[in-house]
Amino acid sequence: MAGAKPGVHALQLKPVSVHEVLKRGSKFIKWDEEAIPSLVTLKVDPDGFFLYWSGGTMEVLDISQIRDTRTGRFAKMPKDQRIRDTLGLGKGESNSDTKLLTVVYGNDLVNIFFLNFHAVQDGYCKVTTTTGPSPRYHIHAIVPSFSVLYTKLKLQVNQDGKIPVEGIKPDDFTWEMFQNFLNKLSPRPEVERIFVELGSKGKPFLSLDQLMDFINRKQRDSRLNEVLYPPLKRDQVHQLMERYETNASQLERDQISLMSFAKYLGGEENSLVPPERLDIIDDMNQPLSHYFINSSHNTYLTVGQLTGTSSVEMYRQVLLTGCRCIELDCWKGRPPEEEPIITHGFTMTTEISFKEVIEAIAESAFKTSPYPLILSFENHVDSAKQQAKMAEYCRSMFGDALLIEPLEKYPLVPGQQLPSPQELMGKILIKNKKKHQHRASNGGSIRRKDGTDEQFSPLNGVYTHNTPKPSLIHSNTKVTVIEMGTAYSEVNATEEMSTLVNYIEPVKFKSFEAAAKRNKYFEMSSFVETKGMDTLKNSPSEFVEYNKKQLSRIYPKGTRVDSSNYMPQLFWNVGCQMVALNFQTLDLPMQLNMGVFEYNGHCGYLLKPEFMRRTDKHFDPFTVDIVDGIVANTVKIKIVSGQFLNDKKVGVYVEVDMFGLPADTKRKYRTKTSNNNSLDPVWDDETFVFNKVVLPTLASLRVAVYEENGKFIGHRILPVSALRPGYHYICLKNELNQPLMLSSLLVYTEAQDYIPNEHQEYAEALTNPIKHLSLLAQRERQLLALMEDPTEVSHACRLYLDGCHLANVWQGMTHNNSPKTQRTQLLCKALHTLLKMCILCDSVLLCQANQKLREIAQECQAAQIKKLKEVCDKEKKELQKILDRKRLNSIIEAKKAEKDKAEAELNEINKKHINESVNLIRQVSRVVEMFMNVELFV
């Protein structure tokens, strides 16, 4: 369901708040390695849209592009000693780096930029980093806002303190002037047409009743329960009008103007997806295996898999996106330092320090999300000494955040569920091969897994020794080592690294039967995408069952040397939790991943659909039929118009795709290309229909805009289960899921429960009985149109429609023998016969409909009774547990009393317990019997 009612609601997200110090501004020295340091005043506008600073000229940075802010030792330090001296960063000042501030920004994860400042006074850097507005939760990330552009224009003044266009003074450039300018620049005839259709009929306003009817009929989600989410009342609608209507006299008359109505369409109350969906709305107390986890593959790489630069900064940037599982490919460092390194083995990619990576992770681990971070080690360090260093760096730098011992409630024993993200909040979990008691360390040399010391190079596909090329065989399919990449050459863990592993212990996957027999939920397996695809095709239902209890990780095949990605939806469909992607490549799969994990507070965890969690439910992801207990949806979307899509005079078009189960995935709907108009194109023609979405909670709608040459402009990923029907704006985003300033689409959507074709007639008759009954008159008029004399047809129709009895008409005409009268008599006979036939047909249809409704109601009642029984059984068990605990507590208290009273009190306690148990269970049973004995009324 959409999860929130339209109109007035309580937004759970914290509103944007800007600290007074940031509004007033603080003095900083802006420095750069290639420029002379300059004194500036650093500020944030009251709405939290922009960070700006004034020196010689005003410079403005959109906060939505800011990736991170760093202070102290994590901020950049000048390399030039002259700049250090200018900033007072001498060797004698122990706290000199506390005044350093670095602002990191960019439109992707690789090409990022740094702004460096040095505070004139102590304390201002901390205020800037801890109280600044978060771009992820800003409302203009949900709905387009012209106030962003207005704020930027007012801030970007020249040296004379004026807006550059014709030298306008900022104080003279009012919000009303700016809105009038936009209305003249881009008139909105499509909005005016909607306004007229709603009942204005040429009047410059809508009444309160008309607006209320529009919100409750057009904009309200029909899938919502009317008791939990009732339609808006007059006072609630009036609150909306007060927010958007600025004309006091119209408000007094309960009216809203066209301009105010247009502002309401673009307001947060009318967003296509409820703003609450950006907050933490999932239950975070389920076992870890019940969530999809935002995951990264080869996190350190910035480009391809064969050549290019490895970067410590990538770990920070990936974590800042909300990713909760990152990969570290660890290799043995060379003497004399013998420091472990991270790189892509057997390639020409550069190396980075393992220690620096751990330090970066410690600094950025929980900036975006407080929920557990998983470090996926691919350990090739065949040196016990260097593995000991790795373990020590993790312990010292992560401190208490590193989970070393399992939680007391969740011991590492068979059948024990994994702890929840809530219980692991703020913890770092290590995924690394674990040393078991039967394996002995071989001094300073460590054997590679599977007993092979040979190293395989994915570049040339050969081993350093003459050994047969291994392959993994599963379900009659082969996955070669070249597809697995360097994962095959991992080494066994030392004791030091093994002690860091608990709930994420990787094991080689043998079969689902073997995993079920071991029943160890803390064991997980990794699948290269090709092996994962074979497993998905051969055993889809078993894969779903496996992922209910244990974790699985999917990673790209080694032949993706360009760092391209596979579609993550394939493996979400079977419940795989850690579907790892190459974050440096913002292709369609990565865009889908970014869009899906935008929701639930951007925390990197999404609760899987219920049937993917419950052990008593079985699911085939390839099903095309309705899933038991899941209501399929029908989704329709019409692209009405676009606004400020591009600053070039080019044609643009829109694509609409659905991603979900194989039966739900549909690509691609596409509009016509506009005629060299990217400013305000209007389409408003074809409605794109996704007739049956089997699993709405796992489906996503992608709406993307392209130039006529196919160049990407912007897109939006929308969860189907949260779509609101009616007219809404879609705020477009770039590949990194950052909001574009003004680019948006006006769309009309419908989201409703799916009704099979064979039941459409019954559904229409129930929802609109007047229309159903009027079909009879329509059929008669169509037949009468074939008669010889239209005047007689009209006369007969009027007689019938006026309710005159045909028998009386016939008797009145028997005494008149004129030819015209005879023809009318024949017509009345035909109508009389037709009426009997229609009545008979309607009787049959009504009987069929009645029978169908009775069957549906009986099924519904049976399901409710079954559910009630399950609830009652569960409550009985819980009640019994409570009573047992109460009895035990009473016994313990009784034992502390005098010994001579102990036996009597125990007998009294047991007697009281038995009476309470019998009475309560009888009451519950009577309620069930009463419900089951209720007769079905249809």
Tell me the three state secondary structure of residue 476.
Answer: coil
For 266, other C-beta atoms within 10 Å of its C-beta total 20
Residue type, 335: P
The count of residues in the chain is 938
663-to-532, 589, 659, 674 alpha-carbon distances in Å? 20, 19, 10, 31
Please tell me what DSSP assigns to residue 783: H
796-to-46, 777, 839, 859 alpha-carbon distances in Å? 73, 12, 19, 46
Give the integer Cα–Cα distance in Å for 351 and 331: 9
Residue (of 625, 746, 677) closest to 265 by Cα position? 746
Let me know: does 324 contact 294? Beta carbons within 8 Å: yes
What are the tokens at 205?
């306003």
Give the integer Cα–Cα distance in Å for 683 and 671: 7
Non-local CB neighbours of 373 within 8 Å, separated by 6+ positions: 319, 324, 325, 326, 361, 365, 366, 427, 428, 429
Q: Is 3 left (phi over 0), alpha (psi -120 to 50) or beta?
A: left
DSSP code string of 314-325? HHHHHHHTT--E
Widest Cα–Cα separation across the chain: 126
Query: In what helix (H) or strand (E) does residue 535 lie, and over which residues does it extend?
Result: helix 529-538
DSSP code string of 801-869? HTT--HHHHHHHHTT---HHHHHHHHHHHHHHHHHHHHHHHHHHHHHHHHHHHHHHHHHHHHHHHHHHH
Give the integer Cα–Cα distance in Å for 459 and 346: 7
Give the integer Cα–Cα distance in Å for 398 and 362: 6
Q: At what angle do helices 769-784 and 819-896 cross, to 10 degrees?
A: 160
What are the tokens at 883?
């009573």
Let me know: does 254 contact 277? Beta carbons within 8 Å: no
The verdict on whether residue 329 carries a ligand-binding annotation is yes
What are the tokens at 682?
């209007």
Strands (E), 106-235: 113-119, 205-207
Residue 301 forms beta bridges with which residues?
Answer: 310
What is the torsional sign of CA 496, 500, 503, 508?
negative
The verdict on whether residue 378 carries a ligand-binding annotation is yes
Give the integer Cα–Cα distance in Å for 236 and 10: 13
The verdict on whether residue 565 carries a ligand-binding annotation is no
In angstroms, how far is CA 224 from the centroid of its own chain? 20
Non-local CB neighbours of 417 within 8 Å, separated by 6+ positions: 287, 289, 410, 521, 549
For residue 650, which phi and psi values (nearest 5 degrees)? Answer: -135, 160
544-to-392, 517, 540, 592 alpha-carbon distances in Å? 38, 16, 6, 21
Specify the pairing of strand 58-62 against strand 66-71.
Answer: unpaired
Positions marked catalytic: 297, 344
Specify the pairing of strand 428-431 against strand 373-379.
Answer: parallel
Query: In what helix (H) or strand (E) does residue 357 lie, and over which residues does it extend?
Result: helix 354-364
Q: Count H helices and E strands in the chain, helices first.
A: 26, 34
The verdict on whether residue 476 carries a ligand-binding annotation is no
Query: Binding site: what residues are annotated?
Result: 298, 327, 329, 378
Query: Binding site for Ca(2+): what residues are annotated?
Result: 298, 327, 329, 378
